[in-house]
């Protein structure tokens, strides 16, 4: 059981050279999670993050660098893998909350990991879903 679930956008901001504020926030979240072993991610977050760092960054990572990032950052946080139960929960959440399938899959994975907070800028900040609270760590106060 982890306290936090980290969405892929947080990892992508680690490489954002256009927004220092978001890069610093992302770095704090990820470093704290790795040091305290207090966060989880899913296979979906791994896939989305690797796709962005290999293909969509202004200076894409090499496969070797992406492999190191996978081993040192994503791998240690990866706790949720696909399962029939996860997909069923995803479909239930999608029907109840009207999120997209992929957003519902993130929420289902966070719930599956036993998390109480979901860091994401893609979902409704402050929304509570079955004991999980969505928090946009990049929101302006």
The tens digit of pLDDT for each residue in 110-122 reads 999 999 999 999 9
The tens digit of pLDDT for each residue in 32-74 reads 999 999 999 999 999 999 999 999 999 999 999 999 999 999 9
Pairing of strands 132-135, 128-129: antiparallel
Query: Residue 1's pLDDT is what?
Result: 52
Is the confidence at residue 2, as pLDDT, over 70?
A: no
Mean local confidence (pLDDT), 72-77: 98
What angle in degrees, to the nearest 10, is found between the helix axes of 101-112 and 84-97?
120
Q: What is the pTM of this model?
A: 0.95
CATH superfamily label, 4-135? 5'-nuclease (3.40.50.1010)
């Amino acid at each position: 059981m982890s306290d936090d679930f980290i969405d892929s956008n947080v990892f992508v901001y680690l490489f954002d050279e256009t927004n220092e504020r978001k890069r610093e926030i992302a770095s704090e979240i990820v470093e704290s999670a790795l040091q305290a072993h207090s966060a989880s991610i899913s296979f979906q977050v791994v896939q989305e993050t690797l796709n962005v760092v290999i293909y969509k960054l202004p200076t894409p990572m090499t496969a070797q660098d992406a492999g190191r990032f996978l081993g040192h950052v994503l791998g240690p946080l990866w706790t949720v893998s696909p399962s029939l139960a996860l997909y069923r929960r995803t479909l239930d959440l999608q029907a109840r909350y009207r999120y997209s399938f992929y957003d519902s899959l993130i929420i289902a994975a966070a719930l599956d990991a036993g998390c109480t907070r979901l860091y994401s800028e893609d979902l409704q900040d402050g929304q509570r879903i079955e004991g999980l609270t969505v928090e946009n760590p990049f929101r302006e106060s």
